[in-house]
Amino acid sequence: MDGDYIIDFVLSIHEGNRPDEDTDISVDNVVAVEAIISAIEYINADASLLSNVSLGYVIHDDYNSVQQVSAIAMKLSQRILSNSLLTSGHQLCPNKSNGCSQSEANFSIVTESHSFSNVNITQSTDSDNKLSNENDMEFSEKNYYNDDTKDASISQKPVVAVVGSSTSDTTVSLAMNLQLLGIPIVGCMATSNIFQRWLYFPNFIRVVPSDKFQAQAIFDIIVYFEWSYIFVLTSNNYYGLEVI
């Protein structure tokens, strides 16, 4: 959705790792998308919150993939830098007498054309709370795309923040790829203790507690029951390794 200022959201809408494969859709993150849209529409409708200013949004699907997040971050960096050049009055294509074409001016900033507009929220028959991915179906009467920046008006608006991603690993990739741009990155789901290292993530803030509190709670239980030894089974990623 267009607005005077744009907030980019990076979420794992699909649960696979590749955009070119048909994968299940996460109910939880679809609900998050609906909440994002509802919140921004509410803010824009209330003149007491942002007077004469409107917020827009772009929602990216990272497929829970570090590689996909890196690609999104690269295209997002191009968009931010192109806007910076335009607002500072620099010519994007100084060697061309006729200037830039529209696609050149926007740096061709469309990441994936994969659409997930034709998905229906249905009651799943299994226990893992997933959605069926079928053709010619809709949910909530809204169309969602992996990258809305194919709209030229949105691609030329200033990005004020990036929110995401869905895991600590993908959020590390997002934060490290965008840290030099000085754009605030808001972690909404990443809980790894690695983000306490402010030197590496100077523009990162989060709205969820660190895993160190979870680890401390586990340690307190061990001490309370005076267990002499334990077995730890964890995941081989930032979430698991930082807890240990």
The count of domains in the chain is 2
10 and 63 both lie in a single domain: yes
Higher pLDDT, 115 or 237: 237
How large a percentage of the chain has pLDDT more than 70?
68
117 and 221 both lie in a single domain: no
CATH of the domain at 50: 3.40.50.2300
Give me the pLDDT at residue 33, please. Answer: 92
Write out pLDDT tens, residues 89-144: 544 444 444 444 444 433 333 333 333 333 332 333 333 433 334 333 333 323 34
221 and 104 both lie in a single domain: no
Question: SS3 breakdown of the chain: % helix, strand, coil, rounded to 5?
Answer: 40, 15, 50
Query: What does 66-90 look like in DSSP terms, one character per residue?
Result: HHHHHHHHHHHHHHHHHHHHHHHT-
Asked if 209 contacts 168 with a C-beta cutoff of 8 angstroms, the reply is: no
Q: Quote the crossing angle between the two packed helices 66-88 and 168-178, to the nearest 10°.
A: 30
172 and 223 both lie in a single domain: no
Lowest mean pLDDT among 10-24, 33-47, 59-73: 10-24
The answer, yes or no, to whether residue 206 has pLDDT greater than 80, is yes
Domain membership of residue 109 as a residue range: 5-208
The answer, yes or no, to whether residue 10 has pLDDT greater than 80, is yes
Once rounded to an integer, what is the mean pLDDT over residues 57-86? 88
CA dist., res. 162 & res. 58, Å (int): 9
195 and 123 both lie in a single domain: yes
Once rounded to an integer, what is the mean pLDDT over residues 28-39? 91
Give me the pLDDT at residue 127, please. Answer: 37
133 and 225 both lie in a single domain: no
44 and 139 both lie in a single domain: yes
Residue located via tokens 């942002």: 50
Q: Binning pLDDT at 50, 70 and 90, where does residue 55 land? A: very high
Handedness of CA 227, 231, 237, 239 (dihedral sign): negative
Angle at 77 between CA 150 and CA 42, to 5 degrees: 60
